[in-house]
Amino acid sequence: KLQLLVDRHQDPSVFGVPDLFLFARHKTSSKKLMGRFVEVKKPEEPLSDGQHEEIAFMNEIELHARCIWLMERE
């Protein structure tokens, strides 16, 4: 799956790689519980077309990608 992502990004016209990769492991067994690519945005900041496409592609190949919008404190 990661090779599909790498191959996709050999094309210089592809944009929108998420900002982070987060993962969690079980405390005692160290078994992987989850992994997720995350695009981080400011409040009300829109995703670009490339970011929408990238998140959709990653989810199609089951790499689990999401966008989160931050909440700013006053």
Q: Are strands 20-25 and 32-41 parallel, antiparallel or unpaired?
A: antiparallel
The tens-digit pLDDT sequence of the chain (74 residues) is 888 888 888 888 877 778 999 999 888 888 888 889 999 999 999 999 989 999 999 999 999 999 999 998 88
Q: How far apart are CA 44 and CA 16, in angstroms?
A: 18
E-strand ranges in the chain read 20-25, 32-41, 65-69
